Amino acid sequence: MPVSPGGTPKPKPLPPAGVHHPVLALHSVGPAVLELQRKLNGGAGQHLVLDGRFGPATLASVKNLQSFFHLQVDGVAGPKTWGLVDYVAALHGVR
């Protein structure tokens, strides 16, 4: 864990409070899907095409993230999944 100049451990970054994301699922399209794909690529090491379409590859990436973090594996990017996406993206400096 990084340490501040005074020797105190710095806390891990948290996702921005109060951020609202729409619920996304297979066949969703638009800028929110593009954000999800970008954050999955940068924060979770995925290799999605950034096309703004929630297709089979995005579905598989969401399910992998849900499984890894022991969430219900339903492939839906709801509040808990978005929270994790935002968190891992923030840990990797992805905004």
Domain regions of the chain by residue span: 31-91
pLDDT per position as a tens digit, 11-47: 554 545 567 899 999 999 999 999 999 999 999 899 9
pLDDT per position as a tens digit, 48-89: 999 999 999 999 999 999 999 999 999 999 999 999 999 999
Give CA separation, 84 vs 10, 12, 27, 44, 64, in Å. Answer: 20, 14, 21, 10, 12
Confidence of residue 95 (pLDDT cuts 50, 70, 90): confident
CA atoms of 56 and 79, how far apart (whole Å): 20
Please report the pLDDT score of residue 20 as a whole number: 86
Tell me the pTM. 0.80
CA atoms of 92 and 95, how far apart (whole Å): 9
Give CA separation, 29 vs 20, 37, 51, in Å. Answer: 17, 11, 9
Q: What is 31-91's CATH topology?
A: Muramoyl-pentapeptide Carboxypeptidase; domain 1 (1.10.101)
